[in-house]
Amino acid sequence: MIIAMKPGVLRAEAEEFARKLEKQGVTVDFSEGATQTVLGLVGDTTAIDEEALQANHLVERVIRVQEPYKRANRMFHPNDTALELPGADGGKAKIGGGNFAVIAGPCSVESREQIVSVARAVKNEGASFLRGGAFKPRTSPYSFQGLGDEGLSLLLEAKKETGLPIVTELMEISQIEHFGNVDVIQVGARNMQNFSLLKELGRCGKPILLKRGMASTMTELLMAAEYIMAGGNDRVILCERGVRGFDTFTRNILDLGIVPVLKKKSHLPVIVDPSHATGVAWMVPAMSKAAVACGADGIIVEVHNDPEHALCDGEQSITPPDFAALMVSIRKYIALEGKTI
């Protein structure tokens, strides 16, 4: 349930009003706009008398939210959520709310030289975050599983060299204690509905990049975000990374249609992963442009210094020169969308 307070209602009045509501067993979230405060009620609202609320002199409008996701719902939070982290060169790495973020780096961290050289290259072209997997969810148990803790240390070295905040995947709860210095924790497609993991991440106080499961619906993705947010962590970034289809030419099918829908239904930033969505390096620039055009708040792109010898996802990795060209070509589209990078 959403309660839009009348314009001019003071924060103190709204808080007292919220306390009374909380006595009826619901939790109340505040969202303050330029002229109006909106209260979002989460929990069992069946006992709440809607007509009495509507008659209250502080209340402008009461709306029942039909969707199962509440905190992720744009009705609860009409303005875009924007995330901001300390970035390179004393600047800020921003995503959402008119800021377009480029997250770039290899699929997996392989060596100091590899991660530092890719980090330098992508930073020079304007990436604002460095990606790189230390713990890798591989289809085969015989494939490279990632460098683990050593990979995390190498990512931190690359961060020290470039100032880029790091994004890396956490596969299980027991790894959380190793992620203290990670800036953004990635939840991979295969873990999107690992509910105990999502609950734990709700308590971890770090931004979460949540990837869409390869056969998950829009509502399932938003409900996964809701799990994290219900635990008190509202810094969630949604990521479309392609879904399973019948055509095997591309690794997945990039469902760009979900981007405007997510932007309409939710206030959370939405990014696109053209690398995992296509599985084909030469398609990445075109799909990056398409991501900008359909309203995404950013992209996450795999970049490798030597794709042919990459230990993971070489076929879909672009080289640093390709990345430089991609950045040149998307900048004008980002400007056309009225966003800043």
Q: How many CB atoms lie within 10 A of CB 288?
A: 25
Name which of 189 and 296 has its Cβ closer to ligand PEP. Answer: 189
Distance CA 201, CA 27 (A): 20
313 makes contact with Mn ion (CB under 5 A) = yes
The listed partner (Mn ion, ligand PEP, none) that binds 126, CB under 5 to 8 Å by sort, is none
Shortest distance, CB of residue 84 to ligand PEP, whole angstroms?
23
Distance CA 155, CA 157 (A): 5
Nearest to 151 by CA among 126, 120, 175: 175
Query: What distances in angstroms separate CA 82 from CA 5, 68, 229, 269, one per listed residue?
Result: 23, 23, 15, 7
Out of 97, 137, 295, 320, the only residue in the binding site for ligand PEP (CB under 6 A) is: 137
Name which of 17 and 179 has its Cβ closer to ligand PEP. Answer: 179
249-288 positions binding ligand PEP, by CB under 6 A: 273, 276
Shortest distance, CB of residue 202 to ligand PEP, whole angstroms?
19
Out of 5, 21, 102, 107, the only residue in the binding site for Mn ion (CB under 5 A) is: 107
Which of these segments, 123-131, 214-222, 248-256, 305-313, binds Mn ion (CB under 5 A)? 305-313
Shortest distance, CB of residue 91 to Mn ion, whole angstroms?
27
Which of these segments, 114-122, 255-263, 293-301, 306-314, binds Mn ion (CB under 5 A)? 306-314
189 makes contact with ligand PEP (CB under 6 A) = yes
Name which of 74 and 276 has its Cβ closer to ligand PEP. Answer: 276
Query: Counting every residue, how long is the chain?
Result: 341
Do β-strands 2-5 and 92-95 pair in parallel, antiparallel, or remain unpaired? unpaired
Shortest distance, CB of residue 316 to ligand PEP, whole angstroms?
9
Distance CA 244, CA 240 (A): 12
Torsion of CA 308, 314, 320, 321, to 10 degrees: 60
Q: Which residue has the tokens 């001019």?
A: 8
Q: Which residue has the tokens 């990635």?
A: 186
Name which of 107 and 152 has its Cβ closer to ligand PEP. Answer: 107
Q: First CA to last CA across the chain, in angstroms?
A: 36
Nearest to 209 by CA among 271, 257, 146, 137: 271
Shortest distance, CB of residue 276 to ligand PEP, whole angstroms?
4
The binding site for ligand PEP (CB under 6 A) comprises 107, 133, 137, 188-190, 211, 241, 273, 276
The binding site for Mn ion (CB under 5 A) comprises 107, 313
